[in-house]
Amino acid sequence: MKDDLFQKGDSMQSFIKRLLQHRDQLSQLEKQVLDYIIRQPQRITNLKLDEAAKEMFVSTATITRTCKKLGFQGYQDFKLQLLLYSREDNQVESHDLSANLAFHTKRYEKDIREVLNRINEEDLNKAASMLVQARHVEWFGVGHSYSVCWDASKKLLLLGKSSIARIDWDDLRSSASNLQKDDLAIFVSYSGETLHILEYAHIVKNQGTPILSIVGTPSNHLSDLSDFVFYTPIEHFYYKDVDLCSRAPFQIFLDLLLLEYQRKHGESSSASK
């Protein structure tokens, strides 16, 4: 029987597809664990390690080893990521597009007010200093956040700083692994909980590269991994499975950040002469 999670959003299907890509690397017992996970993902989130081992007829060590081969730190880390994707799909709330123009105008006005009210000179200065000190800037954003990264990366490159925003997931994973301590990683994520973004952030963190993040929701795991976080509330709005949340607040913050970067970069260049 087809699992319920396959009938939800693209994010969970992407997660399951990613697990399946590792199947050929697993032993027979490890494949048994993976097959159970794919058949019963909802149940897995409610099982402790020893309980899962009894249901799968394998040892706890086999489950832990499987999770690590799938790219996680262990069973608990795997369950957390599975819960995040499940929560992300479940939080998709569909709205009626019959709402009048005034409703949407007020929604966008609220988003813009929030970002402008939350920007302060001290935080902007700190973030700009991170840009000035970086040898190279790597941008991480998937889905709707990618266009924000691409726009900011292009502007930063034109301002003379080495900068790139990649779209391919494998390229993003590879670039995260190759960053140096004098580089800067900038993450843009509405939820701060997207599985791939968290994967890349963990890799970057292990590299010792500073992380600057722009998020649209509070108390998320990406923020916990970051050295600097700018949070601006963005009103949640979906129609069916289409994300119609505005990313304009992210673009406003990044444009102001680039202006502050150029000012500080100009000052440091003048001082060195």
Mean pLDDT score, 83-108: 65
Q: Is the dihedral of CA 76, 81, 82, 83 positive or negative?
A: positive
CB atoms within 10 A of CB 30: 21
**Res. 148: pLDDT tops 60:** yes
Name all domains of the chain by residue range, CATH numbers in brackets.
4-90 (1.10.10.10), 101-272 (3.40.50.10490)
Which pLDDT score is estimated for 16? 75
Residue 211 phi, psi (nearest 5): -120, 125
Distance between CA atoms of residues 210 and 127, nearest Å: 11
Instruction: Kindly state the helix (H) or strand (E) to which residue 163 belongs, with its residue range.
Output: strand 163-165
8 A C-beta contact, residue 6 and residue 12: yes
Q: Chain-wide mean pLDDT for the chain?
A: 85
**Res. 95: pLDDT tops 70:** no
Q: Which of 30-44, 108-122, 204-218, 248-262 has the lowest mean pLDDT?
A: 30-44
Which pLDDT score is estimated for 220? 83
Structure tokens of 7? 């009938």
Distance between CA atoms of residues 250 and 188, nearest Å: 8
Distance between CA atoms of residues 212 and 225, nearest Å: 9
Q: Hey, what long-range contacts does 72-76 have (CB within 8 A, 24 or more apart)?
A: 75/49, 76/49
**Res. 255: pLDDT tops 90:** yes
Which pLDDT score is estimated for 7? 36
Distance between CA atoms of residues 273 and 69, nearest Å: 53
Q: Which of 9-13, 34-38, 50-54, 60-64 has the lowest mean pLDDT?
A: 9-13
| % the chain with pLDDT above 90 | 53
Which pLDDT score is estimated for 23? 81
Mean pLDDT score, 98-108: 78
**pTM greater than the 0.85 cutoff:** no
Coil/strand/helix, residue 241: coil
pLDDT per position as a tens digit, 199-237: 899 999 999 999 999 999 887 889 999 999 999 988 877
Q: How confident is the model at residue 93 (pLDDT cuts 50, 70, 90)?
A: very low
